[in-house]
Each structure stands twice: as C-alpha cells, then as structure tokens.
C-alpha cells in the first residue's frame, strides 16, 4: 500500500507512527520549510526539547517516542501553522 501524499501547503504536520519499527512509536514531522544545516539545527533543538533521539530521512524529521503535543506547542511558538495528523 502506498503512503498517503502529504500536501505542500505550508502547514507542519505531526504524525505518530509505529509501522515497521517493531512496535516502537515515533513522532514524524512533515512540512518544515528549513533545508540543509538549518534543518539539522531544528532537529537538534527538537531532540533536546523531548529528551529523545531522532533523525532526518528525506527531509522528514523522526523523533523517538510520542511527543506530538510538546513539539506542536514549540513549533506554534516559533510561528508555524501546525496540525496533529493521524492517530
């Protein structure tokens, strides 16, 4: 089954996902406008905020654990439009 396409409308979407991760939950962040070193810096900030590990895969940020509410609050404070998506 193909993954649903994520619209590029300037909205940052936060998903909770467990598929293909042996049951471990991760927070998936789509739609951040930063690229390159700026995105790396944003990833580091989010990992520190959550006290968790994380990585970048194809411009998508993955943070270990379910931290959607905490990350949404921080991203809204930075001026992003944020939606909590998925289950």
Spatial distance between the Cα atoms of 57 and 51, rounded to a whole number of angstroms: 20
Strands (E), 1-87: 11-17, 26-30, 54-57, 60-64, 81-84
Q: Across all residues in the chain, what is the average pLDDT?
A: 87
Q: What are the strands of the beta sheet with 81-84, ordered from one edge? A: 54-57, 60-64, 26-30, 11-17, 81-84
Measure the CA–CA gap between 81 and 58, rounded to whole angstroms. Answer: 21
Task: Choose between 9 and 32: higher pLDDT.
Answer: 32
Residue 52 has pLDDT above 50, yes or no: yes
Q: What is the pLDDT of residues 22-44, one digit of tens each?
A: 888 999 999 998 889 999 999 99
pLDDT at 7: 63
| Predicted pLDDT of residue 4 | 54
Stated pTM of the model: 0.84
């Amino acid at each position: 089954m193909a993954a649903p396409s994520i619209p590029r409308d300037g909205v940052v979407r936060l998903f909770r996902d467990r598929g293909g991760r042996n049951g471990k939950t991760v927070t998936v962040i789509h739609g951040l406008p930063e690229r390159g070193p700026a995105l790396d810096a944003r990833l580091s900030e989010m990992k520190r905020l959550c006290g968790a590990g994380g990585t970048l895969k194809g411009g998508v940020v993955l943070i270990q654990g379910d931290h959607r509410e905490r990350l949404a609050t921080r991203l809204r404070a930075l001026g992003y439009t944020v939606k909590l998506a998925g289950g």
